[in-house]
A and B are shown apart, each in its own frame.
Chain A
Amino acid sequence: MGELMFGIELLITGMLIGLMYSMVALGFVLIYKASSVFNFAQGAMTLFAALTVVGLIPHVGFVWSLLITAVVMCVVAVGAERIVFRPLMGSSQLTIFMGTVGFASILEGAAQMIWGTKPRGLKLGIPAEPLKLGEVFVSKPDLISAAIAGLLVIAIILFFKRTKIGLGLRAIADDPAAAQVVGIPLHRVWAVAWALAGMVAIASGVLWGSRIGVHFAMSLIALKALPVLIIGGIDSVAGVIVAGLIVGAAEALGEGYIGTHIGGGVQDVIAYVVALLFLMFKPSGLFGQAAIQRL
Chain B
Amino acid sequence: MANEIADRTPVAAARGASHYPGTRVVAFVLLVAFALVAPLVLTEYWIKAIAIPTIIFGLSAFGLNLVTGYAGLISMGQAAFMALGAFTAVIAYGRFGVPVPLAIMLGGAVAALMGVLVGTPSLRIKGLYLMVATLASQFIIIWALQRVPWTGSGSFATLNTPPVRIAGWDVSTPTDKYYLVLAVVALMTFFGYNLVRSRVGRAWMALREHDVAASVMGVSMLQYKLMAFLVSSFYAGVAGALVVFGYTGAASVQEYELDVSIKILGMIIVGGLGSVLGSYLGAAFIMLLPILLAVLMQKAAAALGGSPAAVDTLANAEHVVFGALVLYFLIKEPKGLAELWHRLAAWVDKQWYPINGAQLGGIK
* Min CB gap A54→B, angstroms: 17
With A87-B331, A295-B213 in contact, is A103–B128 under 8 Å at CB? no
Question: Of residues 241 to 295 in A, which have CB atoms within 8 Å of B's CB atoms?
Answer: 262-263, 265, 268-269, 272-273, 275-276, 279-280, 283, 293, 295
> Is B222 in contact with chain A by the CB < 8 A criterion?
no
- The number of chain A residues with a CB under 8 A from chain B is 48
Residues on A with beta carbons closer than 8 Å to the beta carbon of B323: 101-107, 109
* Min CB gap B291→A, angstroms: 17
With A106-B324, A269-B143, A283-B121 in contact, is A97–B131 under 8 Å at CB? yes
What separation, in Å, do the CA atoms of A226 and B150 have in the docked complex?
Answer: 30
Main secondary structure of the interface of B (DSSP, over half): helix
Q: A38-B128, A268-B139 are in contact. List 20 more A-B contacts (CB 8 A).
A: A88-B331, A92-B72, A93-B127, A94-B72, A95-B334, A97-B74, A97-B128, A101-B265, A101-B323, A102-B327, A105-B323, A106-B324, A108-B316, A109-B319, A112-B312, A223-B135, A230-B129, A276-B140, A280-B121, A295-B216
Question: Which B residue's beta carbon lies closest to that of A107?
Answer: B323
- The number of chain B residues with a CB under 8 A from chain A is 47
* Min CB gap A226→B, angstroms: 5
Residues on A with beta carbons closer than 8 Å to the beta carbon of B135: 223, 226, 272
A275 touches B127 (CB 8 A): no
> Is A234 in contact with chain B by the CB < 8 A criterion?
yes
Q: What are the 8 A-B residue pairs with the smallest beta carbon separation, nearest first?
A: A109-B319, A105-B323, A102-B326, A106-B323, A109-B320, A272-B136, A38-B128, A113-B316
> Is A110 in contact with chain B by the CB < 8 A criterion?
yes
> Is B318 in contact with chain A by the CB < 8 A criterion?
yes
Query: Which of A101, A110, A268 counts the most B-chain CB atoms under 10 A from its CB?
Result: A101
* Min CB gap A192→B, angstroms: 22
Query: Which of B258, B319, B322, B325 counts the most A-chain CB atoms under 10 A from its CB?
Result: B319
What's the A-B contact tally at a CB cutoff of 8 Å?
136
What separation, in Å, do the CA atoms of A197 and B338 have in the docked complex?
Answer: 36
B327 touches A99 (CB 8 A): yes
Question: Of residues 122 to 144 in B, which have CB atoms within 8 Å of A's CB atoms?
Answer: 124-125, 127-129, 131-133, 135-137, 139-140, 143
B74 touches A94 (CB 8 A): yes
With A234-B128, A276-B133, A276-B140 in contact, is A88–B330 under 8 Å at CB? yes
Residues on A with beta carbons closer than 8 Å to the beta carbon of B53: none
B265 touches A98 (CB 8 A): yes
Residues on B with beta carbons closer than 8 Å to the beta carbon of A110: 316, 319-320
> Is B317 in contact with chain A by the CB < 8 A criterion?
yes
What separation, in Å, do the CA atoms of A107 and B334 have in the docked complex?
Answer: 22
Question: Which B residue's beta carbon lies closest to that of A40?
Answer: B131
What separation, in Å, do the CA atoms of A116 and B212 have in the docked complex?
Answer: 48
* Min CB gap A258→B, angstroms: 11
Residues on A with beta carbons closer than 8 Å to the beta carbon of B262: 101, 105
* Min CB gap A6→B, angstroms: 23
A269 touches B326 (CB 8 A): no
* Min CB gap A15→B, angstroms: 22
> Is A200 in contact with chain B by the CB < 8 A criterion?
no
With beta carbons under 8 angstroms apart, the residue of A84, A93, A102, A276 that contacts B137 is A276
What separation, in Å, do the CA atoms of A262 and B140 have in the docked complex?
Answer: 15
What separation, in Å, do the CA atoms of A106 and B322 have in the docked complex?
Answer: 7
Residues on B with beta carbons closer than 8 Å to the beta carbon of A220: 258
* Min CB gap A103→B, angstroms: 6
* Min CB gap B314→A, angstroms: 10
What separation, in Å, do the CA atoms of A102 and B322 have in the docked complex?
Answer: 7
A98 touches B326 (CB 8 A): yes
* Min CB gap A99→B, angstroms: 5
B312 touches A98 (CB 8 A): no
